[in-house]
Structure formats: structure tokens, C-alpha cells
Amino acid sequence: MISSALARLSRVWFPTKKKPASGVENGHAKLIRAGFLRPSHAGIFHMLPLGRRVQSKLEDLVASHMEHMLAASRVSLSAVSSQSLWEKSGRLENTASELFKFSDRKDVGYLLAPTHEEEITTLVAQTAKTAKDLPLRLFQITPKYRDEFRPRHGLLRGREFVMKDLYTFDNSIESALATYNDVRQVYSRIFEEMKLPVLAAKASSGNMGGNLSHEYHLPTPLGEDHVVSCDSCDYVANEEVAESVLSDQATSDTAFKVWRGITKDRTKLVNVWYPKQTKPVDGGELREYTDLDINTTEVKSIVPDLDAGVEDALPLWSAATAAGGTAVELINIVDCRLPRSFSDGLGGAQPNTSSWPGKLRPQKEVPVSVLTTNHNNSGKPLNIIRIHTDDKCPSCTSGHLKAEKAMELGHTFYLGTRYSEALGAIMLAPNDEKQNLPMQMGCYGIGISRIIGAVAELMVDDRGLNWPLAIAPYSCVIVTGAGVDEQDAVEVYRQISQVGGVDAKYLDVVLDDRQKTLPWKLMDADLAGFPVIVTLGREWLSTKRLEVQCRRLGVKQAVEMAELPQIIAKLHTNL
């Protein structure tokens, strides 16, 4: 009876592969070799049984927090969205290059949804009419689609991915901000439960809208973002919105460099002038700067249509001016560390282009204008240099900043009325039912697929994957060698299953009863990243003692059967 109820790896499709000849693998390669997933098309993957177990556990963990801590109701919106709704919200044109768009037989435009703000807002607008219908919290965990130009890093930047979206609707700004803070606390608990060292960083709202947002970043060299944090206070921010104390000064008026960019329409050449080296006011060695230190986000605040992917702008500028007929513009952006005299010396708005160096001089007589600025659009001095580790913290007097690459796993947005006004999510006012007001909205995402890929990269070693207990495909695997009676393995399974209480929260045991050798199964267990391995091998046959291993905690010990539940409970508590 017990035997038939056992979880057995012989009943799981577990297609592992041999180790590559090079022996060098990243986390994504190990996910494939360990049989968690397989590539289908560029940026699209099939989840195999072990990968599906990890995904299901992660989904259950997130859903539990949404339902029990936020009282959110779960929905499942269609993957197909209407292009007309995206036109109403104003996002269709801005995101067109990343959308999978198609038309039906009646030539009506649709798209595969990369997110669902438009659809959920329209749904709520049809059903909630008064302030008494709010607050409303709705979430889903569904596939999303984004036509990435260059899918890379496996699950980290794919064209099909699984997301958790929470959408909130409140009847006042105060209520919406309280909801925002509640969700932020729940997000912290979700990542703490997986024991991931996630940083909650103040961020830009970007195309989503609203004026308050935070990103949840996992520090990793594979990250595409840069996060700045203080070693003394709780200041954490994405580089796009981070600030530092401008304590550096240029060492001389002439020690400068220039980085050149160009706009996407090739009509504006951008010269970014910055100091070659600076000396911190509070002492220290000279800092040498290169083009890699340019903060292109700050440059884009002045020139929104900058083509940041161009490495050499001058040939494109020469080709554009050689064509003639189009007015061109030279934009000088000057770092605030350079003196005002430097900006004044760059020429007026009507330049004499014949005196310019050959590569800058327009090839034909075309109208040229010059804009020179050393202030951003808010009137603050332009800081063109990226924040560096050891820069002073802007939030406290004693702290210094740490700048590191990181990967975004989640994002919270307070949207305000960005979508409710555009899509008609209107309610009768709380104290005046003759007055109509737009609902206050928030949206909150967690990348399910991305977390799987990020954990694989973060916790991989030369032996294999190493899952957090909360989302491991199985928390404990029982591996048997030749000559071991199956009834002994069943008894070990029964003993482990007796672990109860808090220690058993993530207990999930499986018996590896495949017809393979013991060394082969142990290597497979390490590759798959099962947190705890219990082995019945030679030690069991000779002394009736079991070997318990936990790679992450550095545990490898022989134990008596009677000790096993206590040992397993302790490991599950510490993992």
C-alpha cells in the first residue's frame, strides 16, 4: 500500500544528458542538461516534468501570498488582446516593435499580450461602478509574449514567459498608496521565503506610467540593470533614478573627453563632454573616466530619441549630411564637473561650420543649429558620469554607495489614473454620488520564468543546480545502490515522511528507483539540485547506516535510521 503511493523518479520523464566535453556550463545549460526544459524556438522553451514542478511550486508560493496576505482574487485573462485598446491607452505605437500582432479573418487587429493593464481596466470598468465596489485586488499567473529583438540568457530574456500580475483598484489616492505599501511588504516576504538576496530599488515608471515604482533586483554579473545601494542606510535605487553627492571636480579646464552619439533619424549629432579625470573632494586617488562611464540614461533625458546602440556615430552623421536637404543639429551635453567657461567656448546657435574638423563638418550646405546645455530638463546640473562604488550617499552623511549589476525579478507600479481615465474605469465619488472619478490603480509583477532562470544562474556550481527549498522539484531524494532491498528504501521513505510541523513545510520526498548505478544516480541528483540526498549504499549494507548529504550546507554524514527524521528536520530548517 505504501509502496504504490511512493513518489518515484522511474515514473517521471527525466531526460538528462551527458556532461559536455568542455565541462564549462552556465545555469541555463545545466537546466537543459538536467532535463528541466528544452528549447523550442528562439527565446521559447518547453518545460519538462522537473521544470514544471519548480514552476508550479513557485506559482503556488506567490499565489498563496496574494490570496492570504492581500485578499486578492485569482483570474486568468486571455493571452489575446485588442490592438484598439492599446491605441486608447497610447501604448500601441510606443511598444509596437516588441508586440506579436495579427489580424483575424475580418481584419480586426489583435496582439499576444505582453501585459494586461488595458484588458483588466476594461473588465473592471464594466463591473465596478461605485466607490463601495472598491478596493479590488485581482491577480493572475499566465504566459506573456514579447517579440525580443535578441532573446538571450535562456529564461532571463525570452519571447514567451510566465508572469504574476496583480492589479489593484482603489477609491482614493491614500487607499492606493496604502495598498502599494502592503504589496511591497508581501513582495519582501516572498523573496525572503526563497532566501534570495533581493534588493528593492526605487525605479523609473517608464512606459507603464505613474510616478512611483520599485524594482526587485537580484545582484548578478548577468544582470542588465545597475543597482545602487548604501552601506549605511536603506537607500537603494536603480541607476536610472539614483543620485550621488557630486563631490568630484575636474582637475583642469582642458582635461576632457567627448563621447558621440546620434539620434535614430540621423539628424542630430550628440557630443557628450566629460572630464578625463577627477579628484574627490574628500581625498583619494584620481579617477580616470572612459566612454563606458557615460550615463546614457541621463543623455536620453535630454535627447529621448538617442540611438544608444550605435558605437561610431560620425560615419552615420557624415552620410546624413552628405544627402543634403534636411536641417541637422549638433547637441553639446556638458558634464557639470567641467567649468562654465568650457560650455561658453563651444560656439553659438548659428555656427560657422567651415571651421569644424573634417569628420564633423557637414558634407553639404545644410542648415545647422547648435544646442549646448549643462543642465537637465529639471534645471539640475548634468551628471553625465555613472555612479561608482564608494561615491557618497545622497540620503545620509556617513554612507557610501555600492554600484552592481543586477537582474530584475519583480516590479511594483503606482499607476494613479493613467489607464482608468483612458479606458473609462470611472466610479461614483465616495461622498458625492453625482460626481464621477477615475479609479486609482496599481500594477505589480513578478517574473516566474525569470526567477527560475535567475536562481539557476545564481546557485549553480560545477556539480549542478542547487534549488532553494521552497521551489526545489523535490526537497529530498532517496538513492539506492545495488543489493538494497526495496522494502528498506520504503521504510526510509516512511521515516522521512514522519517529519511534521514547520520543519515539514517544504518536505517533498522522492525515491530514485531507476535501473542505474549508484554513482550515476548520485551525479544526477547533484545535477538536478535536490537539496538533500539520502543514500542506501555500502554503508547501509554493512552497518545499516544511511548517508545524508546537503551540498549547500556542506553536510555529509552517516546516521542511524532512528536519527533520520531529526536530521532531515534540522536540514529543512536551515536550508
- CATH code of the domain containing 167: 3.30.930.10
Share of the chain above pLDDT 90, in %: 59
Residues 41, 57, single domain; the answer is: yes
List Cβ neighbours of 159 (8 Å cut-off, separation of 6 or more).
41, 42, 43, 44, 145, 146, 147, 148, 151
389-399 average pLDDT score: 87
Residues 54, 153, single domain; the answer is: yes
Whether 481 and 538 have beta carbons less than 8 Å apart is answered as: yes
The Cα angle at residue 417 between residues 411 and 423, in degrees rounded to 5: 105
Task: Count CB atoms within 10 A of the CB of residue 402.
Answer: 19
Residues 264, 354, single domain; the answer is: yes
Residue 393 lies in a domain: no
Residue 361 banded pLDDT, cuts 50, 70, 90: low
272-299 average pLDDT score: 78
Give the pLDDT of residue 478. Answer: 97
Residue 101 lies in a domain: no
Which segment of 308-317, 411-420, 435-444 scores lowest on mean pLDDT?
308-317
Mean pLDDT over each residue of the chain, to the nearest integer: 88
Place of cell 568542455: 22
Give the pLDDT of residue 1. Answer: 32
Place of cell 546516521: 559
Looking at the predicted structure, is the pLDDT value of residue 267 above 50? yes
Place of cell 528549447: 39
Residue 91 banded pLDDT, cuts 50, 70, 90: very high
Give the pLDDT of residue 3. Answer: 46
Looking at the predicted structure, is the pLDDT value of residue 305 above 80? yes
Residues 117, 215, single domain; the answer is: yes
Residue 559 lies in a domain: yes
Higher-scoring residue by pLDDT: 552, 329: 552
SS3 of 146, please? Answer: coil
Give the pLDDT of residue 2. Answer: 41
Place of cell 521513505: 493
> How many CA atoms lie within 13 Å of 221's alpha carbon, on the beta-carbon side?
4
Tell me the CATH number at 544: 3.40.50.800
SS3 of 559, please? Answer: strand
Residues 17, 117, single domain; the answer is: no
Residue 106 lies in a domain: no
Give the pLDDT of residue 59. Answer: 98
Q: CA-CA distance, 229 to 399, in Å (whole number)?
A: 10
Q: Which domain holds residue 349?
A: 248-373
Residues 311, 406, single domain; the answer is: no
Residue 235 lies in a domain: yes
Give the pLDDT of residue 554. Answer: 95
The pTM score is: 0.87
Residue 299 banded pLDDT, cuts 50, 70, 90: confident
297-306 average pLDDT score: 86
Q: CA-CA distance, 17 to 339, in Å (whole number)?
A: 62
Residue 551 lies in a domain: yes
Residue 512 banded pLDDT, cuts 50, 70, 90: very high
Number of domains comprising the chain = 3
Residue 206 lies in a domain: yes
Residues 268, 352, single domain; the answer is: yes
